[in-house]
Structure 1
């Protein structure tokens, strides 16, 4: 095992999961090294053989079960939730033996979002309530080009709160009526937590990752939460003075 790890360290090669094929042969082993431990691996056909390494859970060994097989693929899911898909082809003499798989950008985003879900309250003053249903922004964080909004939802009633939709858009303070031309909807990069339902008499936390931005003085970030088949709609208004105080997240080790 130490010998295998030494070879991998010395021969690290970057692999683009969407552009470069993985080549395998029947008498030589191809090694894939992932940034996180492997949760699940699935081969497109039985023409390729896969084997995890017992003492290194982020390494997958791949070999051809037969020669000249048809084009196939290999899918791998890692513990951070990332999904990798590799085209695989047969080659008598593969050009590469060891592939160092780079982390996906969304991998770090999902890891940060999941990691701050249980953080304590760090911000006050952004709150809305309707008929025993409360919503608040309990924290704003930043890492690189991503802002993370931590939402705390508390259902004080005996009726489940079913979420119809959760939307984010930039809104003009001076406009009394909302139109598509006046709003700029923001699409989340990642959402952590239950965005379907808040059970009766329970609390829930949702973390939303959005691309980094600031807001002009005449506008604010609107976070809209609507109840399905109900009237307990919630609107959180986040102004620029709160966004610029976002807490810087540390590097992942």
Structure 2
């Protein structure tokens, strides 16, 4: 009996939330969603049914409009003030053309914010990259003592750079990773009279591998803030092996500025 009451209560609560998180749009009117703070993420469920965009002059507002008359529902997902809102969108030629976002039911988006992008979205973006089965040429590659270090691809989204890396351990011994460092350095250090190097801190790593088993290839996506490399300088990605007496292998990929400028949007 108690279980039945619980199921009914949960069902009624779900219906109430769904009803609360619903907006109506139509073809000949523009509907606005107004938040108290900046909208940091926006995604429509079916772009063939509706269009939505953050108002450039008012980043706390989203305008929504139906592409055409449609049956059933679509969806709209927004993030503002580190809260995620999933809204059901219904076609109706009603009178209400503005909604306050805070009136809808929202959930905490994540504890960690990387600039405008919450951690759960970074996980989703990295998963999209790693699950992309499209065969693409390897950007950069270096091989040393049975270890192959590759930069597979470079992507850009929301002012962040996504580096898709691949490490192959072709030996019979586990590779213990100490770190992957990112430096902006002079192209020709030997001739430089005043050498300066700058370390770039990564913002997010998807898997955080610390060991590569024998005869294994692993992939990783590392997120860095958007940047360009000044003239006569280069980005170095250094893979360091953990070993006694600082004797571990070091493999370095050198990324030129033109490669960064060609980062693919996704």
TM-score (norm 2): 0.56
Q: Which residue of 2 aligns with 1:9?
A: 22
Q: Which has the higher contact order (CA 8 A, sep 6+)?
A: 1
Alpha-carbon offset, residue 176 of structure 1: 3.2
Deviation per CA, 1:19-39: give whole Å up to 9, x if none. Answer: xxxxxxxxxxxxxxxx9xxxx
Whole-angstrom distance in 1 between the partners of 2:131 and 2:106: 33
Q: 2:125 aligns with which of 92, 108, 112?
A: 112
Corresponding residue number in structure 2 for 1:186:
200
Q: Is residue 13–residue 100 contact of structure 1 (8 Å, CA) maintained in 2?
A: no
Matched, 1:238 2:242: no
Gaps of 5+ in 2: 1-13, 24-32, 38-42, 44-83, 85-101
RMSD: 3.3
Alignment length (residue pairs): 173
Give the Cα–Cα distance (whole angstroms) in 1 for the partners of residues 189 and 208 of structure 2: 32
Partner residue in 1 for 2:233: 219
Assess if the C-alpha contact under 8 Å between 1:215 and 1:240 holds in 2: yes
Which of the residues 111, 133, 138 maps onto 2:152? Answer: 138
d(CA) in 2 for partners of 1:169 and 1:224? 8
Q: How does 1:86-101 map to 2 (within 5 A)?
A: 99-101=105-107
Higher normalized helix content (fraction of residues):
2
Cα distance between partner residues in 2 of 1:15 and 1:154: 48
Structure 2 CA distance for partners of 1:215 and 1:122, relative to 1, 3 Å: farther
CA distance in 2, matches of 1:131, 1:145: 36
Partner residue of 1:203 out of 197, 217, 225:
217
Question: In 1, distance between residues paired with 2:16 and 2:207?
Answer: 42
In 2, Cα distance between the equivalents of 1:129 and 1:186? 24
Secondary structure in 2 matching 1:116: helix
